Amino acid sequence: MSGPRGSLVGQQLRVATTRFAHGGHAVARDDDGRVVFVRHALPAEVVQVRVTRGKAGDRFVFADVEAVETANPHRVTPPCQYAGPGGCGGCDLQHADLGYQRELKAQVVAEQLSRLAGIERDVLVEPVPGDVDGLRWRTRVEFAVDREGRAGLRPFHTRDVLPIDDCLIAAEPIIDSGVLRRRWPAQRAVDVIAPSGSGSAADSESDPGSDPGSHPGSPAAVLVPVPGGVKQAPEVTEHVASGPWSGDITVDARGFWQVHPGAASTFLDHVLGELDPQPGERALDLYAGVGLFARALADLVGDEGAVLAVESDERAVVAGERDTARVEQLEWRAERVEQALEPLIDGGDEVDLVVLDPPRAGAGAPVIRQIAQLSPRAIAYVACDPAALARDLATLADAGYELDTLRAFDAFPMTHHVECIAICRPSSAIRG
Q: What is the pLDDT of residues 38-70, one digit of tens each?
A: 999 999 999 999 999 999 999 999 999 999 999
Pick from 58, 75, 92: which residue ends a domain? 75
Distances (CA, A) of 201 to 179, 232, 251, 258: 13, 12, 14, 20
Backbone angles phi, psi at 147, to 5 degrees: -70, -20
Give the residue among 367, 378, 375 at the shortest CA–CA distance from 423.
Answer: 378
Return mean pLDDT, the chain: 92
CATH number at residue 341: 3.40.50.150
Whole domain around residue 26: which residue ranges? Answer: 4-75
Exposure b/e, 141-170, CB count within 10 A at least 16 = b:
bbbbbeeeebbbbbbbeeeebbebeebbbb
Q: What is the structure's pLDDT at 234? A: 86
Determine contact, residues 50/64, Cβ cutoff 8 Å.
yes
Q: What's the number of domains the chain is made of?
A: 2
* Whole-number percent of the chain with pLDDT over 70: 92
Distance CA 166, CA 355 (A): 37
Residue 134 lies in a domain: no
- Give residue-wise pLDDT tens across range 364-392: 999 999 999 999 999 999 999 999 999 99
Q: What average pLDDT does the segment 28-42 reach? A: 96
Q: What is the structure's pLDDT at 201? A: 39
Q: What average pLDDT does the segment 260-283 reach? A: 97
Q: What is the structure's pLDDT at 5? A: 64
Compute CA 94 distance to the chain's CA centroid, rounded to the nearest angstrom.
Answer: 18
Q: What is the structure's pLDDT at 227? A: 79
Residue 370 lies in a domain: yes
DSSP letter assigned to residue 158: -
* 357 in a known ligand binding site: yes
Q: For the whole model, what pTM was predicted?
A: 0.92
* Whole-number percent of the chain with pLDDT over 90: 85
| Residue 430 pLDDT greater than 80, yes or no | no
Q: What is the structure's pLDDT at 204? A: 35
* 311 in a known ligand binding site: yes
Residue 227 lies in a domain: no
Distance CA 160, CA 261 (A): 29
Distance CA 255, CA 189 (A): 15
* 258 in a known ligand binding site: yes
Residues annotated as catalytic (active site), given as ranges: 384
Residue 191 lies in a domain: no
